[in-house]
Amino acid sequence: MGLLEFFKKIEPDKKKSPYLHTTYDAFFTFLFSPDSVTKGGVHIRDGMDLKRTMVMVVIAMQFCYLFGTYNIGHQHFVAAGQYLGILEGFHLKLAHGLIKLLPIFIVANVVGLGIEFIFAAKKGHAVEEGYLVSGALIPLIMPPDIPLWILGLSVAFAVILGKEAFGGTGMNIWNIALLARVFVFFAYPGTISGDEVWVSGYEKLAPGMSVDYSWWHTGLFNTVFEWMDVAKFQVGTVVADAYSGATPMGLATKGGWTAVTEQFSVAQMFWGTIPGSIGETSKPLILLGGLILLATGIASWRVMIGMIIGCAVMGLGFNAWDANAFMSVPWYYHFYIGSFLFAMVFMATDPVTASSTNIGKYIYGFAIGIIGLLIRVFNPGYPEGWMLAILFMNTFVPLIDYYVLEANMKKRVVNA
């Protein structure tokens, strides 16, 4: 109680110092839960506000962050032909992952929250909580070597044009994190497509190319590791012969399922020790995060079921057609050779941009499953489809809900 009173006493004047008050309010509402609850005989009394709801989503992503940090380092050393075992060089893998991931996380949140603070102060409103989730999602859907200035531009684009232009949190029609990624894809395609971008730490991902270590590797961490008497980062490390950095998706595009299994085992693809976006590779941990979102009622199981059915139907159709190598990939492997599960759990279920009617949720999810797999198989320049499919269906959500509500009202009139 004493701490609460202290914070109330130091509250800046809202009119004299709008920016300072906005900063204060953001931290105050993050530290303390609401002092009011829903009233009424038929309502649940609840002290859960939007900020704490968003925090639960961020907590569900932490499994992906932990594994993503490790996998950045693991793929780095696989490229060099070193420490191929899961536990081999574990400290080096975590250190390299942190060196790559932390700047991405910091830039994504400083730029995004900075813009949020400016708009909140200008409008005289409290800082909106929606960016807590977007700021956590954006690093997970980026490659580990993305240039930070490109990342900053993509975040600014997504927050200003995708969110603030529509009125802020709860008013945007497109998923903010996916807008940031789609900006990078169309404006700087070389940084988010191809085989080279998914493995970090080399001047160029080609056999014999040397490592590109920073002071953080050779100075800070090597000093710590020398003190601990464990293996250190070696400046002379080079990319191993015949290593390409190809992802399962890239291999499937060129050679179908046979090409995929020649380089990766099913277990590797399932557990996530493969190249890819930072947070999308480990399927069990994505599903664990999904269970948290379902248990807390934040994510809709109807959207997930619809998306699974849509992908399965289209996958079975492609298997029957079998007109190219990618169509021969068994339909059930489409669930985890790419980012399907991550898109389903953390992107498609966004309560702001997804359908709000129960029937609409099934339609919305089913359409994403169908369209996403169509894009994945038929687009040779971008062998993945969930980002574009979700953004496309975000656009049609109001139309879906309109017709669902119209059908419900007509049914009630007939039965009246």
> Which pLDDT belongs to residue 41?
43
Entry pTM: 0.86
Which of the residue ranges 151-155, 249-253, 363-367 would you say has the lowest mean pLDDT? 249-253
Q: Tell me how many degrees the CA angle 32-33-34 measures, rounded to the nearest 5.
A: 120
Q: Average model confidence (pLDDT) for the chain?
A: 86
pLDDT digits 0-9 by tens, 139-156: 999 999 999 999 999 999
Residue 336 — very low, low, confident or very high, per pLDDT cuts 50/70/90? confident
Domain assignments of the chain as residue spans, ordered by start = 2-31, 50-245, 254-405
Distance CA 80, CA 258 (A): 25
